Amino acid sequence: MSELIIPIWVIASVFLVVALTYASVGLGGGSSYAALMVVFGFSTISIPSLSLLLNLIVTTVSCFNFIRRGHLRLDLITPFIVLSLPMAWLGGAMQVPEEVFKLLMSLSLLLVLVRIYAWKNTAISYRFSREQAILIALLTGAGLGFLAGVIGIGGGIFLIPMILLLGLGTMQQAAACGVVFVWLNSLIGLISRSQYNFVDFSPYLPLIVAVLVGGTIGSLIGSSKVDPRLLEKVLGLIIAVAVLLLLRSLLFS
């Protein structure tokens, strides 16, 4: 905890707002938690496990609500999780060097920035065949599951537009698939990391309580009055700062 640049309760207040807003639109916010932890000076050892735990907490209530309302389609989510779950376990079991972690985190956050600022919509003219869509879903799930285990990013920010891109479901169905996908991969990745890369969460209890409160309130709200795209662009600035800090530490370490 001595590495943090500001008090833990201030960070908890920020995380509460992030969790509330993301949960209100059915997302976990893992990429934002990870970026914020980089900016606030968390150790690279604690970031993946803590990010997975926070993802798991925020998406738990959302999973229940989406399933209860009948938005989850098993035939839609299955191709994505077939390979993602074993890959999340594999990623969580890996003990990657700090430089490799920073590189993977930098590349992942750069992709998040591309998703936020360059990916304007998911409409394409080409229609994939069912076989092509399933193959893309399998590969996408494998990649996102691995990242979840290694660096703690759940992947919902990529998965939801991917489902829409492939024309596999409606926005509500995509959101349901995304939140359950993040929950499952966060759970598997966290279990794996607890066995191979154990982190004591007790010093981070204020953050856990903050996202629990924020995620619960956000899920009860059900829909946010804040434009999700506006939120993404604001948090994108934080992610950009995190990328710069990671790249600087890689180049000048």
pLDDT in tens, 58-70: 888 778 777 887 8
Q: Which of 196, 185, 93 is nearest to 140 (CA)?
A: 185
Longest dimension (CA), the chain: 53
In the chain, % of residues over pLDDT 70: 89
Distance CA 179, CA 80 (A): 12
Contact 180, 32 (CB under 8 A): no
Tell me if residue 2 falls in helix, strand or coil.
coil
Token output for 111: 């992709």
* DSSP assignment letter at 118: T
Q: What is the pTM of this model?
A: 0.85
Rounded alpha-carbon distances, angstroms, from residue 12 to 22, 47, 250: 15, 15, 28
pLDDT-derived band at 30, boundaries 50, 70, 90:
confident
Domain spans of the chain? 8-252
154-187 pLDDT, tens digit per residue, is 888 788 888 877 778 887 788 888 889 999 999 9
Distance CA 109, CA 211 (A): 21
Written as six digits, the tokens of 135 are 């193959």
What is the DSSP secondary-structure string of 193-242? HHHHS----GGGHHHHHHHHHHHHHHHHH-S-SS-HHHHHHHHHHHHHHH
Choose the weakest-confidence range: 16-30, 85-99, 104-118.
16-30
